[in-house]
């Protein structure tokens, strides 16, 4: 993807989020509790316009030069980073129900396989060492309560 | 109470038996992660920020500053051995350190790096120790309007230093908006999406963990090893010690670089990278044979390593006196002070001056212990940095989740971490400065509260603002800082024309 197209999409997304936040804050009763957000939002909008115009020009130039490739979602899903990100989301969602240590161990194996580990034997021991270190440091020494879930 | 009594009182605060344990632990973690390219002490500090909440305040800050020191030094190890700077601040270390490795003098270079770092750190904190109180007295004259100007200066000066004004200010303002999420100073909620867990604002630690550590992992997985295989030089403790002793053959370089590091460190947003670049440049300019630089000149390693560690003294002083983070690392240290109920800046000077002095005094044993720990580390444990990313990345991910859960134990904090990781990754991929965003995010609440106080104090007497010398000076500094790039361009243009 051309960097200018990515930047344009990014600018649009963060501006829309900021607009939604600004609109919510504009309903606050006192002037002094909405002034920071209002001031910041309007200066931010001005800069987004300036940056956006620059990126639009760069995008047009890229398009003319034939640099802009069409978006390919199949390739995107095959990307290791996307697979790892999805695995991390699943990991986080499962922590409260299954329990931190059980899910963390399984996720450690899953992450490692996504990143190219071929054999179980190469990843089980590092997994036990890492989680053992976390257990000793955080649960035993620092007395931290981590989500237990139905397993551990 | 005067200087001597504060120092004595602070010294007594440091008399606890496990002080060396926290220093050694911090240094080992810092050196190990600092030596990993792209990981740095930011990751280490952000990982331990949450758990440090459970330690007494002074032990927590000592642990985190030891990590900071270790990571700044650790960055130089991979720069010397493989020409891969572990942190941006070690870029100049590799200029001469790596040619020394190629000449078979890597142990000497590593030893010089250790001693220069310790001298830089010790020297800068020695100056800070004597100047902290006078600077503190000036800072106490700062009211809300002045603090607001200081914060604005911090936000804008990042752009000025890194010559990326528009992207920096743009993402900085977005960060600032997100930093104001939560309850307003009057107690009304803003942007919390119905989540009561966000009333206090977006949680700082998970947000920083995601933005700085997890997003970096997504970049790291593109390579099978952080450090390419086949580059594994042998270690030798005797040669390392020889390198340490040789450092003292260059007292002028040591002194100049310590001073440069301290001054650059004091400036908000300049940081250790700028310090080492300026110091390396000055050392080269001052040398009789500048052509030797870049070919294995020991003064190159000494200048870079002394300055990047000396900058820590300045950065920590600015952080404690003004509450301004000069770098992401000091931003994390501010967060550490905050979670222990202290607010760096005038409040710290007014309420916890003895604590601030204790932090400064604790840096002297850190500098001494650094020499021992670093020598052992580079000799024995340096090989750990050859771990494959398929093991390293999952391990850091699991640690990041623990770090997010450590502070409040709420699952929503892990989701905040994930969202900020995504944002951090996108910012890096699109070449927007993450540092600008982080500064805005951290300073958002401060801008909000100081602006509110300034409005309440001066809404009926705006003219009163202009009768305050500190306000006028800071206003002038801000205007100059904003106009500086254009002014210097004009100046250069005129000089060329004449």
Contact B320, B359 (CB under 8 A): yes
Task: Tell me the average pLDDT of chain A.
Answer: 86
What is the per-residue pLDDT across B110-155, written as a single tens digit (0 to 9) for each? 899 999 999 999 999 998 888 877 766 666 667 788 878 877 776 6
Q: Would you call A57 an interface residue with chain B, using a CB distance cutoff of 8 Å?
A: no
CB pairs under 8 A between A and B: 154
- B395–A147 CB contact, under 8 Å: no
B246: nearest Cα among B377, B108, B338: B108
Give the model confidence (pLDDT) of B33-64 as tens digits.
777 655 566 777 887 888 888 888 889 999 99
Closest residue of chain A to B395, computed from CA coordinates? A130
Secondary structure of residue B376 in the 3-state scheme:
helix
- Percentage of chain B exceeding pLDDT 70: 87
pTM over 0.80: no
Q: Residue B161: what pLDDT?
A: 46
Residue A109: per-residue pLDDT: 92
Which of A29, A81, A143 is the closest to B218 by Cβ? A81
pLDDT of residue B162: 47
Query: pLDDT for A65-100, tens place per residue?
Result: 876 666 666 666 667 888 888 898 899 889 988 999
Instruction: Tell me the pLDDT band of B234, cut-offs 50, 70 and 90.
Output: low
Least confidently predicted of A122-126, B29-33, B43-47, B165-169: B43-47
Plot region of A71 (φ>0 → left; ψ -120 to 50 → alpha; else → beta): beta
- The pLDDT score that the predictor gives to residue A69 is 65
- The answer for B 366-425 residues in CB contact with A (under 8 A) is 389-391, 393-395, 397-399, 401-402, 405-406, 409, 411, 414-415, 418, 422, 425
Chain B residues with CB under 8 Å of A36 CB are: 180, 447-448, 451-452
Q: Is the pLDDT of residue B168 over 70?
A: yes
Helix axes B57-82, B91-102, angle to 10 degrees: 50
Phi-psi region of B271 (alpha: psi -120 to 50; beta: other; left: phi over 0): left
pLDDT digits (tens, 9 = 90+) for A109-120: 999 998 888 888
Q: Where are the domains of chain A?
A: 1-71, 78-152
| pLDDT tens sequence across A40-52 | 999 999 999 999 9
Q: Are the C-beta atoms of B287 and B299 separated by less than 8 Å?
A: yes
User: For all residues of chain B together, what is the average pLDDT?
Assistant: 81
Q: Which residue of B has its CA nearest to A45?
A: B170
């Amino acid at each position: 993807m051309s960097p200018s197209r990515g930047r344009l999409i990014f600018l649009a997304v963060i501006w829309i989020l900021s607009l939604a936040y600004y609109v919510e804050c504009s309903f606050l009763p006192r002037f002094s509790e909405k002034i920071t957000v209002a001031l910041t939002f309007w200066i931010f909008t001005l800069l987004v316009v300036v940056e956006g115009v620059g990126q639009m020009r760069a995008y047009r130039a890229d398009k003319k030069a034939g640099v802009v490739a069409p978006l390919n979602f199949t390739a995107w899903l095959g990307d290791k980073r996307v697979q790892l990100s999805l695995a991390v989301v699943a990991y986080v969602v499962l922590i409260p129900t299954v329990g931190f240590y059980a899910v963390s161990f399984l996720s450690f194996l899953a992450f490692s396989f996504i990143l190219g580990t071929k054999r179980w034997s190469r990843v089980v021991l590092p997994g036990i060492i890492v989680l053992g270190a976390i257990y000793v440091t955080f649960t035993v020494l620092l007395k931290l309560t981590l989500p237990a879930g139905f397993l551990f | 109470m005067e200087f001597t009594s504060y120092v004595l009182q602070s010294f007594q605060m440091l008399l606890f038996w496990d002080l060396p344990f926290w220093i050694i632990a911090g240094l080992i973690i810092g050196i190990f992660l600092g030596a990993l390219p792209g990981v740095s002490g930011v990751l280490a500090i952000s990982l331990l920020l949450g758990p440090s909440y459970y330690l007494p305040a002074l032990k927590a800050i000592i642990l985190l500053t030891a990590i900071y020191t270790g990571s700044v030094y650790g960055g130089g190890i991979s720069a010397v051995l493989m020409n891969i700077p572990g942190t941006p601040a070690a870029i100049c270390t590799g200029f001469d350190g790596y040619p020394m490795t190629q000449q078979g003098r890597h142990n000497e270079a590593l030893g010089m790096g250790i001693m220069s770092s310790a001298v830089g750190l010790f020297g800068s904190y020695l100056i800070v120790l004597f100047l902290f109180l006078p600077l503190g007295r000036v800072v106490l004259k700062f009211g809300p309007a002045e603090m607001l100007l200081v914060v604005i200066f911090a936000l804008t000066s990042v752009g000025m230093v890194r010559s990326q004004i528009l992207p920096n200010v743009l993402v900085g303002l977005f960060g600032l908006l997100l930093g104001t999420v939560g309850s307003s100073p009057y107690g009304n909620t803003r942007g919390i999406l119905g989540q009561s867990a966000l009333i206090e604002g977006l949680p700082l630690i998970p947000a920083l963990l995601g933005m700085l550590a997890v997003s970096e992992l997504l970049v790291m997985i593109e390579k099978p090893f952080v450090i390419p295989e086949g580059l594994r030089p042998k270690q030798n403790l005797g040669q390392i010690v020889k390198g340490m002793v040789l450092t003292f053959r260059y007292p002028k370089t040591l002194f100049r670089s310590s001073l440069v590091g301290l001054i650059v460190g004091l400036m908000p947003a300049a940081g250790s990278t700028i310090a080492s670049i300026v110091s390396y440049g000055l050392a080269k300019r001052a040398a009789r044979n500048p052509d030797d630089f870049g070919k294995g000149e020991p003064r190159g390693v000494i200048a870079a390593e002394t300055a990047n560690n000396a900058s820590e003294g300045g950065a920590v002083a600015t952080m404690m006196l003004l509450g301004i983070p000069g770098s992401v690392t000091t931003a994390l240290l501010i967060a550490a002070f905050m979670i222990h109920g202290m607010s760096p800046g005038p409040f710290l000077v007014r309420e916890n001056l003895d604590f601030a002095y204790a932090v400064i005094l604790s840096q002297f044993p850190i500098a001494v212990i650094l020499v021992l720990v670093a020598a052992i580390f580079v000799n024995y444990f340096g090989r750990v940095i050859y771990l494959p990313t398929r093991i390293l990345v999952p391990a850091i991910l699991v640690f990041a989740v623990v770090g997010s859960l450590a502070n409040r134990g709420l699952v929503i904090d892990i989701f905040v971490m994930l969202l900020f990781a995504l944002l951090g990754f996108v910012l890096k991929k699109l070449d927007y400065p993450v540092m600008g965003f982080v500064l805005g995010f951290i300073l958002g609440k401060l801008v909000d509260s100081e602006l509110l106080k300034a409005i309440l104090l001066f809404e009926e007497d705006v003219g009163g603002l202009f009768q305050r010398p500190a306000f006028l000076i800071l206003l002038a500094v801000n205007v100059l800082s904003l106009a500086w790039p254009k002014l210097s361009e004009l100046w250069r243009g005129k000089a060329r024309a004449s």
